[in-house]
Chains A and B, each alone.
Chain A
Amino acid sequence: MEAAGAGAGAGAGAGCGSGPPLLLSEGEQQCYSELFARCAGAAGGGPAAGPPEAARAAPGAATAAAGPVADLFRASQLPAETLHQITELCGAKRVGYFGLTQFYVALKLIAAAQSGLPVRTESIKCELPLPRFMLSKTDGETRFGNSAELHGTKVQIPYLISEKNTFKRMENEDKQETQSPTMSPLASPPSSPPHYQRVPLSHGYSKLQSSTEQMHAAPYEARQPLVQPEGPSPGNQGAKPLWHQASLTRSFSVERELQDSSSNYPDEPWRITEEQREYYVNQFRSLQPDPSSFISGSVAKNFFTKSKLSIPELSYIWELSDADCDGALTLSEFCAAFHLIVARKNGYPLPEGLPPTLQPEYLQAAFPKPKWDCALFDSYSESMPANQQPHDLNRMEMLSIKDVADFAVPTQDMTGDDKQALRSTTDEVLPNDMSEDSATKSGLLPPPPALPPRPCASQSEQASEAEPHPQLNRAPSQAAESSPTKKDVPYSQPPSKPIRRKLRPENQATENQEPSSTIGGPASAAAVKPHPAVQKQSSKQKKAIQTAIRKNKEANAVLARLNSELQQQLKEVHQERIALENQLEQLRPVTVL
């Protein structure tokens, strides 16, 4: 390799005429020679068919065919004029073919251009990261390439050497490279774009979930034996599901059932996991209690603006996710949009089109059940005084037995809240409603304006059993209840959510203190926190529990007061009614006669 490199260096110096001698690092030499062999070997066919033979053949060919070279250059995603410049500079035009030296120089120039350096022969003097070629349409690869250039050369060198294996495999199987980096970021995306590096990513990823700890080793080592047997596949499509399913058995156990059903979707960063889905659904609830209806554009705009992405980006995300272009987001559309926002905040570039795993039909098919589970949970944390009556009926259908038990306790609160809500309607309606409500009280959960803490707490307890992550539980319920007052709370969650998953113990502690300190105002909001915390561990949570208990008591006091006021009003109304009835009776004998 060194001899070839030196020869290439000398040759490049001679070939380019006035250009400086080309110095390639070991990694670069290896990659370039593979690329060259690939293009040379595929003289007759395209690069897709070429690599297997080229990989086995020695790079003895003197020239690389123009066709595959052009394809390769186009795959580098540089604009056409840049590619023309590169071609001219490397001397291919002059000599009329892509010899080894010209090819190497061209690759170096491509790397320079991708790093943002001007395309000149001086650019290739410095050490550059490997040029990135996007051979597929997935964005993990693009992101992968972009990140490589963003961080300069020094940082990348150790990373590149470790990545060489994967890069080599990219030559052989076109879309493998895209799979490995993109699979890990999904579950543990880095906390901020500047930190987007593969090494800490895999660390974070290994801490992520016990079920996926083996991913740390899996992408790089396990795939190698996996890839070789596949050999030259007729098309990328054939290789993808094969590799995909095999690697899935070692990794996302959460998504395994999903993957099996839809094995042709390799867009890992765009796949929504169960917990993410539940989180998104909870957020949807906080904006719009009915799971089957829409979030209007303005509501969604306010919500997404809190994510602090730029308006053009949000506009683009909206375009992608609002599939039917009706100006409103259904649950699936909302999940897709939210997922895109989370991905973008973690540094992923936005895709050109909506990935298949984010299409509404796919999302609806993939996640029918969690939607309803979340429906049960969040139906209790919503407050819609104006629409109480129809919602009562809806929720009656959705309630299960366990909910009835919950609501045996706060029926008194319910009555008070019902009355308060109903006060907005006419007074004549009030007695009727009350009788109706009291009759249905046992099975009914009307959404009270001020949330009684206890049902939410017990409900969240049960819900958190279902959900593996109490933070998610806390976060959405917290968001839901504080939504009338503070809408910025939900958005503390999305950026921190990945961090939470990466470093769970630390963040549990910080989460405990943080919510307890921030939520002072809405008494109901703080109530939910301590109960899911109980289930997990540590004295820090006990402190949170105590603060929450205090707030619960405050809330109880407020509600009791409310209750008494409403009782008073009720009595007065009763008396009025009695008086009116008396009058009516007095008048009646007169009219009858």
Chain B
Amino acid sequence: MAVCVAVIAKENYPLYIRSVPTENELKFHYMVHTSLDVVDEKISAMGKTLVDQRELYLGLLYGYVTNSKVKFVMVVDSSNTALRDNEIRSMFRKLHNSYTDVMCNPFYNPGDHIQSRAFDNMVTSMMMQVC
């Protein structure tokens, strides 16, 4: 039920962005950037956190931070039935697992754009549940 998924690297540049309706991208990028500030605040507030959730006005924006400060941000469509917390967490967990699989690839340099087909497929599967 995700509408947009983004993986943001430690230095706050995007490693991967995918959205279902393509016209939302600009709006989403803007939302992501604004959300990153809040995410960073929350990180510095708490000691060690893996999950960081917030809601924004239009649509729902959820964030997730890993140990290496890589952030996963996901925009979900609020017009559907409200997603439960568990589902969001499970989606982030799947994202995280796929991300670690990508990392395991020795040909992948951290900081590159993520070009893994498996990762793409996984994200698409998460997003295609809506359409």
Partner of B106, one of A300, A312, A316, A352: A300
Residue interface mask B61-90, A partner, CB < 8 A = 1: 000000000000000000000000000000
What chain A residues lie within 8 Å of B100 (beta carbons)?
A: 325
What chain A residues lie within 8 Å of B101 (beta carbons)?
A: 319, 325
- The answer for the CA separation of A301 and B109 in the assembled complex, in Å, is 12
Nearest to B97 among chain A residues (CB) is A325
> Which residues of A277-334 have CB atoms within 8 Å of chain B's CB atoms?
297-298, 300-301, 304, 311-312, 314-316, 318-319, 322, 325-327
Nearest to B116 among chain A residues (CB) is A319
19 contacts between A and B (CB under 8 A): A298-B106, A300-B106, A301-B107, A304-B107, A311-B107, A312-B115, A315-B105, A315-B116, A318-B107, A319-B101, A319-B102, A319-B105, A319-B116, A319-B117, A322-B105, A325-B100, A325-B104, A327-B104, A352-B117
Asked if B107 and A315 sit within 8 Å, CB to CB, the answer is yes
- The answer for the CA separation of A300 and B116 in the assembled complex, in Å, is 18
Nearest to A328 among chain B residues (CB) is B104
Q: Answer whether residue B13 sits at the interface, using C-beta atoms and an 8 A cutoff.
A: no
Measured CB to CB, the closest approach of chain A to B74, in angstroms, equals 22
Nearest to A318 among chain B residues (CB) is B105
Measured CB to CB, the closest approach of chain A to B115, in angstroms, equals 6
Asked if A316 and B116 sit within 8 Å, CB to CB, the answer is yes
Measured CB to CB, the closest approach of chain A to B15, in angstroms, equals 14
What chain A residues lie within 8 Å of B50 (beta carbons)?
A: none
- The answer for the CA separation of A83 and B98 in the assembled complex, in Å, is 33
Q: A318-B105, A322-B104, A352-B117 are in contact. List 15 more A-B contacts (CB 8 A).
A: A297-B105, A301-B106, A301-B107, A311-B107, A312-B115, A314-B107, A315-B105, A315-B107, A315-B116, A316-B116, A316-B117, A318-B107, A319-B105, A319-B116, A322-B105
What chain B residues lie within 8 Å of A304 (beta carbons)?
A: 107
What chain B residues lie within 8 Å of A352 (beta carbons)?
A: 117
Nearest to B106 among chain A residues (CB) is A297
Asked if B106 and A327 sit within 8 Å, CB to CB, the answer is yes
Measured CB to CB, the closest approach of chain B to A564, in angstroms, equals 44
Asked if B108 and A326 sit within 8 Å, CB to CB, the answer is no
Q: Is the interface of A mostly helix, strand, loop or mixed?
A: helix
What chain A residues lie within 8 Å of B128 (beta carbons)?
A: none
Chain A residues within 8 Å of B, Cβ to Cβ: 297-298, 300-301, 304, 311-312, 314-316, 318-319, 322, 325-327, 352
What chain B residues lie within 8 Å of A316 (beta carbons)?
A: 116-117
What chain A residues lie within 8 Å of B116 (beta carbons)?
A: 315-316, 319
How many positions in chain B have a CB within 8 Å of any CB in the partner chain? 12
Q: Answer whether residue B118 sits at the interface, using C-beta atoms and an 8 A cutoff.
A: yes
- The answer for the CA separation of A316 and B107 in the assembled complex, in Å, is 9
Measured CB to CB, the closest approach of chain B to A354, in angstroms, equals 10
> Which one of A312, A316, A325 has the greatest number of beta carbons of chain B within 10 Å?
A325
- The answer for the CA separation of A352 and B115 in the assembled complex, in Å, is 14
- The answer for the CA separation of A314 and B106 in the assembled complex, in Å, is 9
- The answer for the CA separation of A312 and B113 in the assembled complex, in Å, is 11
- The answer for the CA separation of A322 and B104 in the assembled complex, in Å, is 9
Asked if A315 and B115 sit within 8 Å, CB to CB, the answer is yes
Measured CB to CB, the closest approach of chain A to B104, in angstroms, equals 4
Measured CB to CB, the closest approach of chain B to A520, in angstroms, equals 32
- The answer for the CA separation of A326 and B101 in the assembled complex, in Å, is 8
What chain A residues lie within 8 Å of B118 (beta carbons)?
A: 319
- The answer for the CA separation of A322 and B107 in the assembled complex, in Å, is 12
Measured CB to CB, the closest approach of chain A to B89, in angstroms, equals 21
What chain B residues lie within 8 Å of A326 (beta carbons)?
A: 104
> Which one of B105, B106, B108, B115 has the greatest number of beta carbons of chain A within 10 Å?
B106
> Which residues of B19-41 have CB atoms within 8 Å of chain A's CB atoms?
none
Nearest to B121 among chain A residues (CB) is A352
Nearest to A317 among chain B residues (CB) is B107
- The answer for the CA separation of A322 and B116 in the assembled complex, in Å, is 13
Nearest to B104 among chain A residues (CB) is A327
> Closest 7 CB pairs between A and B?
A297-B106, A315-B107, A301-B106, A327-B104, A325-B101, A318-B105, A314-B107
